[in-house]
Amino acid sequence: MNEQDDVIGVADRAEATRRGWLHRIATSVCRDERGRVLVHRRPDTAARFPGYYDVLVGGAVGVGESYGHAARRELTEELGVRVPVKFVVKFLCRGMVSPYWLAVHEASITGPLRPDPDEVPWHGWMSEAELRLAMCRWPFVPDGQDAFNRYLALRATPMAS
């Protein structure tokens, strides 16, 4: 990837992170029918931010894969759900570990979750007020907090007609 999000080569996420190369990550903020946000804890064995909490569900975009497709695939792999996603924002995240392009989507979850315990050892639904409090008390992935704040700001902005 380059600064314009053009593909200039192919490498796996581990190599891109190790070398500080830009790569692509697709994520989703999940909401239930009451508007609550899904919060999950990362596994203690995770390479990045083990045991931290996050509001983003996602991962690396595969070769030739769109951000939207990757976001849907990650929801299926990590939460066991097949739902559409709505694009919200994409930005160049300078990241705590390495720089990357981050696309944030929104997904509405109306049915039961079947999370992969190796990816999501704990999850729960929180109102935005509960989530703000949790973010002050629990260790949250810093990049996820930044992305969530951007997501909230864009959701609060009325769209031009």
Taking only the tens place, the pLDDT of each residue in 40-73 is 999 999 988 999 999 999 999 998 899 999 999 9
**pLDDT, position 57:** 97
Indicate the pTM of the whole model.
0.88
State the DSSP code for 62.
P
100 in a structural domain: yes
Query: pLDDT category, 95, cuts 50, 70, 90?
Result: confident
pLDDT at 83: 97
Any idea what the CATH number is for the domain that residue 67 is in?
Answer: 3.90.79.10
Q: In whole angstroms, give the CA distance from residue 41 to residue 139.
A: 10
User: Does any domain span residue 150?
Assistant: no
28 within some domain: yes
In our burial notation (b when 16+ CB lie closer than 10 A, e otherwise), range 111-147 reads: eebebeeebbbebebbeeeebeeebeeeebbebbebb
Burial environment of residue 148 by CB neighbours within 10 A (0 to 12, 13 to 18, 19 or more): buried
Domain count, the chain: 1
Q: Which domain holds residue 72?
A: 13-143
158 inside domain? no
**Does a structural domain hold residue 34?**
yes
Residue 62 counted as domain residue: yes
Which parts of the chain fold into alpha helices (H)?
Answer: 13-19, 67-79, 128-137, 142-156
Residue 159 lies in a domain: no
Q: Do the domain assignments include residue 6? A: no
Give yes or no for a contact between 46 and 119, defined as CB atoms under 8 angstroms apart.
Answer: no
Q: Which pair of tokens denotes residue 131?
A: 């989530």
